[in-house]
Structure 1
Amino acid sequence: MPRRRPRALRAQEPAPRVWAPTPPQPIPGLSLRASRDVRRVERLYPDFHIGLGATSQALHGYRAFLHPPGRRPLYPRESPCPSCPGCAFDDVRHCRDVLDSVLERLPPRSRAELARLLPLDAEYRRRTLPDPFADRRTWTAHLWWHRRLAEPAGG
């Protein structure tokens, strides 16, 4: 095979640069396969509150709520504007809603891997108090994490 001359190589048009988006970072605690499946669900799920990165943000919010050490009860705080996707993650119950929605749509292997990250549920039950009137107050009373006492949005 003949060798190309340097002048001929320099005369060629340079290939156009294609800048691909950076690949998403894996979700802490999940394998690459499970992270990829979660990203696929986030991309294909038609809900307003579940977009790219919502699962990672929900896990971070869930862990941050349970982070303060101690034995004192914690009270989930309602979001000041629940219709805003950024502010809705201030409410730990919304974070758990997002995780539940993603869990329903994952393939079995990835679902089991994400469910392994939810021993946080036991900590949440231990650190929050049950609300005896939750079935009268909220339309999501069938979800156990909404049946806990919470602070109103004002404080």
Structure 2
Amino acid sequence: MPRNRPGALRARETLGTRPRTREIPQPERIPGLSARTSLAIHHVEQEDGGYFLFPGATERALRRYRRFLRTPGLGILYPRTSVCPSCPGCGLDDVRYARDILDETLSRLPPRPRAELIGAVRALDRGYLLRTLPHPLLRPPLPWWHRRLAEGAEGW
């Protein structure tokens, strides 16, 4: 008597079930980060639903932080306040707000993705410290990236 192949048996068992597909498409990978870290960030943004973390906020914040530091030349940079800081999307015009989003994401990530994101953010932080000046009058409890000299408004 011939034997049925295991694949044929499994195919008969699963005829009535629907195929395994994702209902929500896989999120895109954040440039400069691994797929695993990008997925962890996506989960954190989906679960939180808070003011800082909305879907795609971390990627936009990283892009904004990098763009601020890629300003041509070697001169001093001055962060600018957003014209509409109360809007989560418009707030990203201010690089300090973008750094706030990254800090919030870091506080909610599991250890391994956090370590990878910290590596990317620290490299940007070094550039930020080198290209901005400390504000002599601002003291803690503000985070260090808010205690830098700034000028004017940006975004309109």
Residue 12 of structure 2 corresponds to none
CA contact (8 A) 2:52 2:104 kept: no
Residue 11 of structure 1 corresponds to none
* 1:144 is aligned to 2:130: no
Instruction: Name whichever of 122-131 and 39-48 sits farther off.
Output: 39-48
Q: How is 1:1-155 mapped onto 2 (pairs within 5 angstroms)?
A: 20-118=23-121, 119-135=123-139, 141-153=141-153
Distance in 2, matches of 1:115 and 1:96, equals 12
- Name the TM-score, length of structure 2 as normaliser: 0.79
Give the RMSD, CA atoms, in angstroms. Answer: 2.2
CA contact (8 A) 2:94 2:154 kept: no
Distance in 1, matches of 2:46 and 2:109, equals 12
Q: CA deviation at 1:86?
A: 1.3
CA contact (8 A) 2:82 2:154 kept: no
- Name the TM-score, length of structure 1 as normaliser: 0.80
CA contact (8 A) 1:141 1:147 kept: no
Which stretches in structure 2 are left out of the alignment for 5+ residues?
A: 1-17
Distance in 1, matches of 2:29 and 2:154, equals 36
- Among all aligned residue pairs of Structure 1 and Structure 2, give the percentage whose two residues are the same amino acid: 51
Which stretches in structure 1 are left out of the alignment for 5+ residues?
A: 1-14
Q: CA deviation at 1:148?
A: 0.2
Relative to structure 1, the CA distance from residue 37 to residue 19 in structure 2 (aligned partners, 3 Å threshold; closer, same or farther) is closer
Q: Secondary structure at the match of 2:82?
A: coil
CA contact (8 A) 1:134 1:141 kept: no
Q: Which runs of 4+ in 1 moved over 3 A?
A: 18-22
Q: CA deviation at 1:141?
A: 4.4
Distance in 2, matches of 1:39 and 1:90, equals 22
